[in-house]
Amino acid sequence: MIEGASYSDTFDSDDRVSCAVKGHEDFRSPSMLVRSQNGWGVSYTSTEICAIRGSTMDITCTYTYPSMLDHHVTTVQKNFWFIKESNGIHVDLKTDPEYSGRVEYLCENNKCTLRISNLRESDSAVYKFRFTTNQPTGSFTGSAGITLNVTDPQLQVHVRRSTANPYSTWTELTCHSRCQLPDHLSYVWYNNNEPVGQKKYFHLQHFNAEDSYHCAIEGHERFPSPTVYYPSDAPKVPSVSVSPSGEIMEGSSVTLTCSSDANPAAKYTWYKRSGDKRVQPLSEETQFVLSSIRSSDSGEYYCTAENELGRSSANIVITVTCE
């Protein structure tokens, strides 16, 4: 349990519960369904999950029961998972021919995990857990169950950018599925179809116009996400110019101009590069004027053009000469 979180161990029938760190209630854990009655109960770790065809999936629950009834100690005699029920008969998955050789129960200390291997689309169903005890009325089913959807990953790349600091912009790519996939999966990122990373999140300092990215789940690379390209409305490499053109004489005035066809409109910032020193912004206007220019003004100037979709830059070298 997370420190600072709390829960009640008394639930009404079919309650939905979750937890959160105190002071951060907006970031709650996934909810789970709990069915409880007079000390009997089954709780599932989630309500709905997705799995990939051909993969192995674990579905877990915990269960409770009174330790003693009518002076008789309660012991569990059987526990199993099922999806089929008819006339009060629950079909143990281990006896279902459709799951032959693909089902395993991992049960210990009032916790039971159903492991299904080589998943098929036909395995999509609501899975429920049932246990029986030595008590006369000691059978209980977690009626809420867990809905399993077996499908392709249906991945998408979510793009998030930060341009708050002009000296340190970044882009974060997230490999996202439309449904809740298991946390233990490994991901593969591709830059221009070459593998470059193995995490769910991929951070970039620069997102170049010629680059493309997509992601896939390791072992299931045949189901990649759509490719993400540099956004077409983000600023491409802007054009820069100096006027008057030609030889720049000491004492004259020079106008540097930066332009881009970005949509929405770009914000411009002019800088001068000076060796290893940290660059400082000179102007946040499209045009930057150098008046009464001196030889010390010689050097490399560059501008950045950025909007919420991206950032790019271009440079120009100025050489001041004496008569």
Q: Which helix (H) or strand (E) holds 96?
A: none
Domain covering 155-229: architecture: Sandwich (2.60)
State residue 13's pLDDT score: 37
State residue 164's pLDDT score: 53
Q: What is the mean pLDDT of residues 273-301?
A: 82
Class of domain 15-151: mainly beta
Least confident of 169-178, 207-216, 275-284: 275-284
State residue 8's pLDDT score: 26
Q: Which helix (H) or strand (E) holds 270?
A: strand 267-273
- The whole-angstrom separation of Cα 57 and Cα 48 is 13
Least confident of 14-18, 75-79, 165-169: 14-18
The pTM of the whole model exceeds 0.75:
no
Q: Are the C-beta atoms of 11 and 41 separated by less than 8 Å?
A: yes
Chain CA centroid to CA 90, Å: 38
State the pLDDT confidence band at 110, using cuts at 50, 70 and 90. Answer: very high
Question: Which part of the chain is CATH 2.60.40.10?
Answer: 15-151, 239-321
State the pLDDT confidence band at 12, using cuts at 50, 70 and 90. Answer: very low
Q: Specify which of 69-73, 136-140, 214-218 reaches the highest per-range mean pLDDT.
A: 214-218
Which segments within 109-263 are labelled E, that is strand? 111-116, 125-133, 139-141, 146-151, 155-162, 170-177, 187-191, 194-197, 201-204, 212-217, 228-229, 239-243, 248-249, 254-259
- C-alpha dihedral sign at 88, 93, 94, 95: positive
Q: Homologous superfamily of 239-321 in CATH?
A: Immunoglobulins (2.60.40.10)
Least confident of 40-44, 141-145, 158-162: 158-162
Give the count of alpha carbons within 13 A of 312, CB side only.
Answer: 23
- pLDDT at residue 277 tops 80: no
- pLDDT at residue 130 tops 80: yes
Least confident of 44-53, 284-293, 302-311: 302-311
Helix or strand or coil: residue 70? coil
Q: What is the mean pLDDT of residues 131-146?
A: 87
Residue 306 buriedness (CB in 10 A; 0-12 / 13-18 / 19+): buried
- pLDDT at residue 2 tops 50: no
Q: Are the C-beta atoms of 297 and 289 separated by less than 8 Å?
A: no
State residue 10's pLDDT score: 30
Q: Are the C-beta atoms of 216 and 231 separated by less than 8 Å?
A: no
State residue 231's pLDDT score: 66
State the pLDDT confidence band at 306, using cuts at 50, 70 and 90. Answer: confident
Pick the more confident residue, 148 or 162. Answer: 148
Helix or strand or coil: residue 23? coil
The pairing of beta strand 48-52 with beta strand 40-44: unpaired
Give the count of alpha carbons within 13 A of 18, CB side only.
Answer: 11
